[in-house]
Structures are given as structure tokens and as C-alpha cells.
Amino acid sequence: MRSGICPKCGSSDIIQDCRIIDHGHYDRQWNLAVTVYEHPQAWLFKGEVSSRLRAWVCGACGFTELYVKNPQALLDAFRQHQAGS
């Protein structure tokens, strides 16, 4: 959908880069994120790398795609984990 065209209905009415918020933590609002650990087996210092999720939403049919803001950082952490396994 980053091309500006909805893959489901073909509409070009795309709402770009929307925040995804969790309202379930009392009065706080949290941005949802994806997290990868470089060393998930470690007790401490797991090497947590997170990236916020953003949504692109079709204004015509509601189809939604999620993207992380920094995919390269997640990929680097994942590769670090794979290399250590």
C-alpha cells in the first residue's frame, strides 16, 4: 500500500503513517512496537531492539497494512541472534 494503491480494492484513498496506540494501560497511551532480542536466552542484557509500528489504511475499504519504522535495526538484531545460535 506504500505505492498509494490499495491491494484489495484498488483505491488511491490511502491514510498514510498512522500511529497505532494501546489504550489498555490505565490512562497512559503506548505506541505499539515490534521487538527482537539479539540474545534471547540471556538472563540480563538481552540486546532488545524495538521499532514502532505504523499503519497505512485504505479509506475506501479499511484494509490496513502495518510497517515498522526501522526494519534494518530489527534485521540486524535478528541476524546477530542467528549468528549466536
DSSP 8-state symbol, 25: E
d(CA 31, CA 18): 11
Q: pTM score > 0.75 for this model?
A: no
At 73-84, the pLDDT tens digits run 999 988 988 887
- Rounded mean pLDDT, 69-76: 92
| Residue-range domain boundaries for the chain | 14-84
Q: CB-based contacts of 13: which residues, under 8 Å, 6+ apart? A: 6, 58, 59, 60
